[in-house]
Amino acid sequence: MAVSNPDPLPAFATAFSPAPSRITIDPRWCSGRPCIRGLRVRVSDVLDLLAAGLTRQEILDRLPELESADIEAALRFASKRLSFSY
């Protein structure tokens, strides 16, 4: 069952998200870390698997709840996050 969030996301959360329907940030899930589609799979988990040398298909095999577009969204999210001027 999906939990609705009555509080809007902070502006910084949506500013970093290139695919808002794919990347979610909710303080009640994964300590507020960016996740894939509200699943308890963090963007950092996907990036760590890619950094460890897994292919996209291997990630999808390990995490069958993910879709190929989720991996792409995680990469775009990370890219936008790192290009942000602090």
Q: Per the confidence metrics, is the pTM higher than 0.85?
A: no
Q: What CATH number did the domain enclosing 24 receive?
A: 1.10.10.10
Give the pair of three-digit tokens for residue 44: 């950092």
- 60 belongs to a structural domain: yes
Residue 19: pLDDT band with limits 50, 70, 90: low
What pLDDT digit, counting tens, does each position of 54-81 carry? 999 999 999 999 999 999 999 999 998 8
Cα angle 33, 63, 60 (rounded to 5 degrees) comes to 115
- 63 belongs to a structural domain: yes
Beta strands 35-36 and 23-24 are antiparallel
3-state secondary structure of 31: helix
N-to-C CA span, the chain? 37
- 58 belongs to a structural domain: yes
Residue 32 has pLDDT above 80, yes or no: yes
Percent of the chain whose pLDDT exceeds 90: 64
Name the average pLDDT for the chain. Answer: 82
Residue 44 belongs to what domain range? 13-82
Q: Quote the pLDDT of residue 86.
A: 65
- 7 belongs to a structural domain: no
